[in-house]
């Protein structure tokens, strides 16, 4: 899972991930504050200063191996005017901000006609011989990493944003016991319980979801014949979005 360890690639990754992380965490904090949570303002998180948000070890790990905890946001639904809708908006703001960055820089890269150069220069940094190729590689990386962060954060596994988004979307009580088919009640009891109280059951499965997440990370570092779980869940959607924006 190691990325290209060429010094230029690492520097580009550090710059791009620093920007992506800062905007992501700022979006979480800003929307949470707008929804009534005063903690981001009191803790000085309503800023685009990366030093306020960054997780130094996670930032370095992400630039080198493609995985790490970039930052955090001290937001809580209990402090919001409408806990469910407010938390949904605040959590979704992070990955959506990455998607917005990818679209903006993708359109810019496509408009100036450097998509192909950016692709080749980023993955073959020895070809970076002038400011134009360096700019193209940097812009390509900005699009690539922001798409990847968007896709990654939409995975519904704890503690990723996607898990919290699903929790916010699920109602506390949906179907009554009598509305659930008997065959589901008898043969698929966990599903029946989930249908009766989806949000509560989703929260009950939090730790199980976390263990699945850790297992997928571990499997991604093992030689599995070129197949990686995250390559399926993240790589393919990322490649599709990248191609749509740039080519």
CA gap 29, 44 in Å, rounded: 10
Q: Is 54 helix (H, G, I), strand (E, B) or coil?
A: strand
Upper half-sphere CA count for residue 46 (Cβ side, 13 Å)? 11
Ramachandran assignment for 44, one of left (phi > 0), alpha (psi -120 to 50 degrees), beta (any other): left
Asked if residues 188 and 111 have their Cβ atoms less than 8 Å apart, the reply is no
- Candidates 245, 247, 157; CA nearest to 207 is 157
Which residue in the list 25, 118, 151, 242 is annotated as catalytic? 25
Task: Tell me, yes or no, if 38 is annotated catalytic.
Answer: no
SS3 assignment, position 185: helix
Cα 136 to Cα 86: distance, rounded to the nearest angstrom: 38
Query: What DSSP state is assigned to residue 22?
Result: H
Looking at the annotation, which residues are catalytic? 25
């Amino acid at each position: 899972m190691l990325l290209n360890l060429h010094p230029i690639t690492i520097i580009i990754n550090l710059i791009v991930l620093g920007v992506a992380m800062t905007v992501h965490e700022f979006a979480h904090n800003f929307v949470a504050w707008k929804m009534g949570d005063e903690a981001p303002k009191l803790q000085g998180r309503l800023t685009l200063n990366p030093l306020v948000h960054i997780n130094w070890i996670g930032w370095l790990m992400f630039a080198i191996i493609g995985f790490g905890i970039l930052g955090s946001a001290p937001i809580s639904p209990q402090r919001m005017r409408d806990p469910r809708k407010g938390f949904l908006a605040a959590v979704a703001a992070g990955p959506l901000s990455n998607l917005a960055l990818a679209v903006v820089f993708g359109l810019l890269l496509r408009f100036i006609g450097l998509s192909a150069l950016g692709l080749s220069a980023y993955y073959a940094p020895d070809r970076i011989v002038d400011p134009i190729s360096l700019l193209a590689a940097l812009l390509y990386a900005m699009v690539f990493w922001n798409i990847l962060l968007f896709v990654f954060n939409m995975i519904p596994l704890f503690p990723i944003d996607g898990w919290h988004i699903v929790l916010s979307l699920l109602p506390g009580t949906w179907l009554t016991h009598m509305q659930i088919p008997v065959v589901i009640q008898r043969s698929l009891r966990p599903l029946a319980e989930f249908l009766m109280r989806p949000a509560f059951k989703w929260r009950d499965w939090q730790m199980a979801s976390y263990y699945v997440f850790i297992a997928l990370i571990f499997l991604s570092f093992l030689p599995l014949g070129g197949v990686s779980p995250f390559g399926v869940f993240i790589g393919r959607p990322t490649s599709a979005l990248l191609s749509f924006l740039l080519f």
